[in-house]
Amino acid sequence: MIDADILLLAIVNMAEGVKSLIGDKGAKAVMRDAGKQAGPKLLESLIGHFPETLDKEEALRRACIILEDLGFAKSIKKEDGKVVVEEDIFTDAIVGEDLINSPVIYFFAGLIEGFVSFMSDQRVVLVPQEVQRGRIVYSYT
């Protein structure tokens, strides 16, 4: 079995490699889309068909709970038009100090967006507002 920390480093380094290959904006778009594609597939593999359609706010609330339970962060909460992530798995693995521009932050946003799309017939778009080691704050619309 592969070590989870090694897999995490591979994901973060892959995101940075995409950035080197196609540039900052392209990497953010590609990694967000990768998360959007991975989210529904991951949820479907965990729970199968979702039996109901939720409104966007409830789907986002549940997505936060599920991702927290899966270990993506110690705490993921929907608060006042924001998603606040505490003690996440990604920010400590990012090399350098420009955390907010790391494509892996957009992958995580896309993962949340993908979870919401799986549970809801509505879209949500997360935008990183604050990124520090161990803390990400996304606004959403």
Domain residue spans in the chain?
A: 4-140
What integer pLDDT is reported at residue 52 of this predicted model?
87
Angle between helices 103-119 and 4-22 (to 10 degrees): 110
Q: Domain 4-140 classified CATH 3.30.1380.20? A: yes
Question: 89, 32, 95, 84: which is closest to 61 by C-alpha?
Answer: 84
Q: Are 115 and 59 in contact (CB under 8 A)?
A: yes
Does this model's pTM top 0.85?
Answer: yes
Q: Which residues pair with 73 in a beta bridge?
A: 88
Per-residue pLDDT of the chain (141 residues; tens, 9 = 90+): 678 889 899 999 999 999 999 999 999 999 999 999 999 999 999 888 778 899 999 999 999 999 999 999 999 999 999 999 999 999 999 999 999 999 999 999 999 999 999 999 899 999 999 999 999 999 999
**98: its two tokens:** 């420009």
